Amino acid sequence: MMNGHTNGIDTNGGVDHWPENVGIVNMEVYFPSQYVDQSELEEFDGASSGKYTIGLGQTKMGFCDDLEDINSLCLTVVDRLVQKTPGLSYNSIGRLEVGTETLVDKSKSVKSVLMNLFKESGNSDVEGVDSTNACYGGTAALFNCISWVESSYWDGRYAIAVAADIAVYAKGAARPTGGAGAVAMLIGPNASLVFERGLRATHTQHAYDFYKPNMASEYATVDGKLSVQCYLSSLDKCYNLYRQKAAKKCKIQNGVDEGNPFTINEFDAVLFHSPYCKLVQKSFARLDLNDFVSASNNERASKYEGFESFNSVELEKSYFDRDVEKAFMAHSLTCFQEKTKPSLHMATNVGNMYTASLYGGLAAFLCSKSKDDLVGNRVALFSYGSGLVSSLFSLRIRSENLETVISTLGDLNKTLEGRRKVEASEFSKACQLREDTHHLAPYQPTGTVSNLAPGTWYINNIDEMHRRTYSKREVMTNGYH
């Protein structure tokens, strides 16, 4: 499977042509082995029934106790990716990027900790560090890895992009939107998930919608209403810019302007960064609204019957228009259930994984169909990070190496169901412990190692100089793994 990584390299060590079909060759997902039920959390918090489960669309929330931090999550997911990928070794990796906003050090990168995995191989020639901008860092890491493979500095080896975070909030309305997880993506040529060249739209601006100014705390400062507006506004801008680039590319390739407006029907799946699942459904409806706004009168009459009252709607004034939201959520419901809902299985059962959220959704989508049903699919991905940076890009699925991706991800539903359920009171105590011991040194974690899944890395000790050491819970020999 891994015999194609030297494609594009001549015998003198230089690139003789651009590598083909660059994208995700393989990927792995990790999430905590324990969760709290959101309906039970509603009751524990004294919230109205359905506030978290229906209002937010969340079912379960994975969380970490004091045994795990951002370094251990990344150690686990990268270790598993390399072990599960046939023929892959640490010597065949030339770039490693990490995207995260879960910082345990203001200077030392998570990537540098991951180099412990490379020690035995002797390979220290590995480019890349960390990228940080709220939930967008994983996408920045991914884009950097793709650019490296397509650059004159590429030496024929693979890159790995890691997206990982632990999302925790103070007691209150935001706490049920937490979560934790990590995704590692092997990037190279001859991929099964190929990124479409020239089709990437980005919108950035300055905003204080979600930020972490208190360096002594894991908790964010959040302007909830502004955050939703920034998310939807960024989606509008990225989608319209993407459509412009798609039309231009089509005209260049075909020599003529086809004249038909680009719509969400061009995609077999549309995936989103998911702070909570209800926002994703509203966002899909937002794309339908964009299609409506740009449609001709004839198209509106045929595709949007009874929507005449919305003919004068302005995108910039409709972010919190309940009538518009309700109408387009209803109109797009069937399409949403087909193109987006399968990708939310991870988000509703694990919660917000911040930088890993979008890519956990990609993994869930890949596990929702058979290999034959995936081949040929065109997938749109929207990434958003507060502050803010956002991008809309797309990939196409090929059959080559796809079986390896599916095999590596395994049965995600079985893994989700195999987690340990904890009482809401225990979850609350775990959150309080994290708060009380945040950046405490020296510190010896008090969590139970046997609660971790075999193969999971965890904090062994934090000494008086804040130096962290890690151990790995090995696979047991009694058949449990």
- Cα–Cα dist 444/463, whole Å: 8
Show contacts of 120-124: CB within 8 Å, 24+ apart.
Answer: 120/90, 121/89, 121/90, 121/91, 122/91, 123/90, 123/91, 123/93
- Cα torsion angle, 222, 106, 432, 426, sign: positive
Catalytic residue chosen out of the listed positions 28, 74, 230, 273: 273
Strands 269-272 and 389-397, bridge-based pairing:
unpaired
Set 42, 68, 97, 101: catalytic member: 101
Catalytic residue among 28, 64, 97, 135: 135
- Residue 135 a catalytic site member: yes
Task: Determine the straight-line distance between the first and last CA of the chain, rounded to whole angstroms.
Answer: 25
Taking the CA of residue 138 as centre, how many other CA atoms within 13 Å lie in the half-sphere pointing to its CB?
Answer: 26
Q: Is residue 365 a contact partner of residue 193, using CB atoms and an 8 Å limit?
A: no
* Gap between the Cα atoms of 56 and 44, Å rounded: 17
The length of the chain is 481
Distances (CA, A) of 397 to 78, 162, 163, 366: 23, 20, 21, 10
273 is annotated as an active-site residue: yes
- HSE, CB side, 13 Å, CA atoms: give it for residue 60: 21
The verdict on whether omega for the bond into residue 442 sits within 30 degrees of 0, i.e. cis, is: yes
What positions carry a catalytic annotation? Answer: 101, 135, 273
